[in-house]
Every structure is written in C-alpha cells, then in structure tokens.
Structure 1
C-alpha cells in the first residue's frame, strides 16, 4: 500500500530525515519513536505533503504522492488525515462545527464562507462523535472541553475526511495518563474496525508496545529500528535514544496502574518512554 523510498528532507546543511525507507503492505497501526529532533514529525509532514521532500519518493497504492500538485495534492491530504499534538481546533466554535471542518476539502467556497453543511454531513459528524464517546458535547464550544476530549474531537474531524491513512503527531504528549489511554484506544479501534492505516509519533515506548503492530525507531534522521513491539527491548531502546545503562523506562510510563505503586517500587521489566 505505502512505499517510502530514500526519503530525505534537508534544511540547508541540516538533514532532518536521511534516506528513510519504509514499506507497508497492508493497513497497520505503526508507532514511530525517537528522541526530540529525530525527524519523526518531519517524516509525517512529508507523508501528508505539508512539507516537500528534498529527495526520495512516497508511493501509495501505485500513485507517486511526492509528485502531486494542486487539486490532486489536496485530495491526497484529505485521504491522509493529520492529527496534531495541539489539537488545532477553532476554540470558539462548537464541537460539531469543528468536526465538520473535515469536509472543507470537498466543499465550495460559498458554502464554506456561510458555514453551510448538508444535513447528512451533520448527522455523520454526530455519529462519529458518538462513536468516540463525546456526542453529548456536540453543541459546546471546543474550548470548554478537556484536553482528552478535544483530541477526540480532532480525531472525529479526521474521520470526517474518510481517510485511508491517519497520521498522528504525538497525539497524547500533552495529556494525562487516563486521557492518553482513551485516545490511543480510540485510534486502535479505528484501525481495527475500519481497516485504516494509523501512523503515530509516540512519546512513550510502553504505548508503542501496547497499541502498535509495528514500531519504527528514528535517531538523527535515520531509521535505526523497524520491528515488532516484542523486539523493542530495553537494549534496543538505548540504541534508539543513544542512552547509557542508566536509561529507565518507568519515569514517564503512561500505564495508569504505575500511579498506584508504592514509593520506591521498582518493576522487574518496565515499559520504555521516549526521552524528551
């Protein structure tokens, strides 16, 4: 389905992504891990065509994504929805209107100007909110919701695009552990029930192990690991992050149960986070 060949992005002399190669044969939930500055966000932005590659190629279902321009590029961005860490909602608009913004790529300018939506789209937006457990907030302003609820609104907006791929750029980095798990469970459910590909940059390794079928590790712009969650050992994590033997996995775990452990408790085999 998705083939990334020698994809490179340079900013002057600095190479953010260095000859990345990824092949995805069928819809999967993929986690990308690595310390800050490893190139994770740049990779997703190139996939969505928010940023152009310096060299290399992205192909999806036989189409050269890197060559798309104009209307074809906009269609691709609708098929490849993006979810951001900061939600990117319109705070003063109601929740359902924010979700309906997922249809903007296929609406005419006049309808957009007057905020006019077909009844079928409105009903579909509410159905998606209901699926994500937040339909009762449809009439509220987005700014009145918690961070976890706002992120689910952002997921609902992405689903309104009916995308083939959902890209999530650190979707839980600013959330508490409980909301982080709700958001990740929602993304996993979307992958399993809809058969959509989900690619997420993740801030913690325990999250990658728990929710993803495949994990890709990046270091200094290069892919240094590509394997299953079971292969993501503490030793591998040290290599990805360039960490020494003092590397500890427990400090930023998103597992809620770790919050209830007594002070001084040390798990025999903890789950790894991304180093900030």
Structure 2
C-alpha cells in the first residue's frame, strides 16, 4: 500500500533521514520510536510533503507521492492527515470551526474568508466530536479546553479530511499520563474501527508496546529496528537509543498504567481528578 524507497533528507551537511526503506502492505497502527534528533519528525513531514526529500521516493497505491505538485499535492495532504504535538489549533476560534478547517482544501477562498461551511459539513464535524467524546465543547473556544481535549479536537480535524493515513507527530509528548492514555485509546480505536493506517512518533517503549502492531526504531536518521512489539527487547531498545548496559526502560515510560492498586479513598480522589481533566 505504502512504500518508502531509499528516502533521504539533508539539511546542509546534516543528514536527518538517511536512506530509509520501508514497506507497509496493509493498514496498521505503527509506532516510530527513538531519541530526539533521530529523524522521526522529518520522516513524517516528508510523508505528508511538508518537507521535500533530498533523494528517494514515496509510493502510495502506484502513485509517486514525492513527485506531486499543486492540487495533487494538496489532495495527498488531505489523504495523509497530520496531527502535531502542539495541536496547531486556532485558539480564539470555537472548537467546531477548528474541526471544519479540515475541509479547507476543498473550500473556496471566499467561503474560507467568511468562515462559511455547508450544513452537512457542520453536522459531520459535530458527529466526529461526539464520537471522540467532546461534542459538548463544540461552541467553546479551543483555548478554553485542556491539552488532552485540544489534541482530540486536532484528531477530529484530521478525520474531517477523510484521510487514508493519519500521521501523529509526538501526539502525547505534552500531555499528562491520563490524557495521554485517552488520546492513544482514541487513535487505536480509529484504526480498529475505520481501518485507517495510523503512524505515531513516540518516545516511550511502553506506549509503543501497548498500542502498536508494528514498531520502527530510528537512530541517527536510520532504521535500526523494525518488528512487532514482542520483539522490542531491552537489547533492541539499547540499540535504538544508543544506550549502554545501564539503560533503564523507566526513563522512557509514560507511567500510563500504575502497578499498585490504589486504596478506595485514593481511587475516588483519582476519579474526581480525572473527571475534572476530561
């Protein structure tokens, strides 16, 4: 379905992505892990065509994505939606308008200027928000929402594009563990229910193992691991992170799951705090 062939990106004398070749034969939930500067974000930006490749090519269902220009490139960027770590919402606009921005590639300039959208698109945006559990916030400004809620708005905006692929660049890096779990559960459900390919850049091994069907490890721009979550051993993690024998997976953990069972009073307190966050 998706082929990446010898993809390379240079910035001056620096090589951010170095001769990467990957094949994705069917829709899957894919995690890309590695330390900061490994080339994960640059790889996703090349897939979405936000960044051009220095060499190599990307093929999707027989079309060379790296050669697309103009409207064809915009259509691809709708088909291959991008979700960012910092949400990239318009803070002072209401939530539903932010979601409707997912249709801008097919709106006229005049409609965009005056924030005019077909009723069918408005209803669909609200349906998507309802699916993600935040329809009650549709009329609020985006800046009034919590970080986890804003990231779900960004996911809703991506779904408005009706993409075949969703790329998520560190979608939980700026979230607390509770909201990180909600966002990852949401992305996993979209893959399971819609059959869309989801590709996430992640820092954490526990998240990759829990949510992904396939894990790709990058180091210094190269792919150094490509396998199932079960194959992601401590030795493989040391290779990905360039770490020695003292490497501890706890340094990459999001602590989404707590190992201890809380007391009833602590559980009630945690529930109240969670309800306040969501």
Q: TM-score over 0.5 for the alignment?
A: yes
1:260 to partner: Cα distance: 4.8
Q: Does 1:219 align with 2:199?
A: no
Q: Which residue of 2 aligns with 1:64?
A: 64
Q: Which residue of 1 aligns with 2:208?
A: 208
- 1: distance between equivalents of 2:90 and 2:117? 17
- 2: distance between equivalents of 1:231 and 1:12? 36
Cα distance 1:211–1:257, how it changes in 2: closer, same or farther (>3 A)? closer
1:261 to partner: Cα distance: 7.8
- 2: distance between equivalents of 1:61 and 1:195? 16
- 1: distance between equivalents of 2:54 and 2:169? 21
Q: Which residue of 2 aligns with 1:38?
A: 38
Provide Cα deviations, 1:48-99, integer angstroms capped at 9, x if missing partner.
0000000000000100000000000000000000000000000000000000
Q: Which residue of 1 aligns with 2:245?
A: 245
- 2: distance between equivalents of 1:128 and 1:222? 37
Provide Cα deviations, 1:202-235, integer angstroms capped at 9, x if missing partner.
1211000000000000000000000000000111
1:112 to partner: Cα distance: 0.5
Provide Cα deviations, 1:90-111, integer angstroms capped at 9, x if missing partner.
0000000000000000001110
Q: How do residues 46-195 of structure 1 correspond to structure 2 at under 5 angstroms?
A: 46-195=46-195
Choose between structure 1 and 2: higher helix proportion. 2
Q: Can you give the 5+ residue segments of structure 2 that lack an aligned partner in the other structure?
A: 263-278
1:259 to partner: Cα distance: 7.3
Could you tell me the TM-score, scaled by structure 2's length? 0.92
Q: How do residues 250-265 of structure 1 correspond to structure 2 at under 5 angstroms?
A: 250-258=250-258, 260=260
Contact 2:180 2:256 in 1 (8 A): no
- 2: distance between equivalents of 1:252 and 1:220? 18
1:254 to partner: Cα distance: 2.2
Secondary structure of the residue that 1:256 maps to in structure 2? coil
- 1: distance between equivalents of 2:12 and 2:252? 34
Root-mean-square deviation (CA), in Å?
1.2
Could you tell me the TM-score, scaled by structure 1's length? 0.93
Contact 1:181 1:254 in 2 (8 A): no
Q: Provide runs of 4+ in structure 1 moved above 4 Å.
A: 259-262
1:246 to partner: Cα distance: 1.2
Contact 2:104 2:112 in 1 (8 A): yes
Q: Can you give the 5+ residue segments of structure 1 that lack an aligned partner in the other structure?
A: 263-276
Contact 1:33 1:217 in 2 (8 A): yes
1:251 to partner: Cα distance: 3.7
